[in-house]
Amino acid sequence: QSVLTQPPSVSAAPGQKVTISCVGSTSNIGNNYVSWYQQLAGTAPKLLIFDNNRRPSGIPDRVSGSKSGTSATLDITGLQAGDEAHYYCATWDGSLTRMVFGGGTKLTVL
């Protein structure tokens, strides 16, 4: 059971928008920055969003993140076949004194 809760799967058609949620608590998301990672099949994870809503260089602006209270959200608009992957949220948990990940969400582009 992951400390951060994500939906196991989401799907949408090409060109559409998808939203992935990440629910935590005051000991983690409520008091720390959230980051998001994309993991394509057979590859290492890649940073998509850091500090709740900032994109590293090279990540397109159709990818965005937000945080409200103890929940965070990753939005991807203009879906492409290449977006099909697993997505993970993560943050620091002050009570557990460790980084925690969500269980991951598999995005399927229909």
Partner 1 sequence: HLVESGGGVVRPGESLRISCEASGFILGSYSMSWVRQVPGKGLEWVSGISSGSTSKYYAESVKGRFTISRDNADNSLYLEMNSLRPEDTALYYCARTTSYFDYIDYWGQGTLVTVSS
In the complex with partner 1, the residue whose CB is nearer, 14 or 51, is: 51
Separation in Å, CA 39 to CA 7, 30, 62, 86, 97: 16, 25, 17, 5, 25
Q: In the bound complex, what is the minimum distance in angstroms from residue 96's beta carbon to partner 1?
A: 8
In the complex with partner 1, the residue whose CB is nearer, 12 or 47, is: 47
Interface ranges with partner 1 (CB under 8 A): 2, 32-33, 35, 37, 39, 44-47, 50-51, 56, 86, 88, 90-92, 96-104
| CB of 23 closer than 8 Å to CB of 67 | no
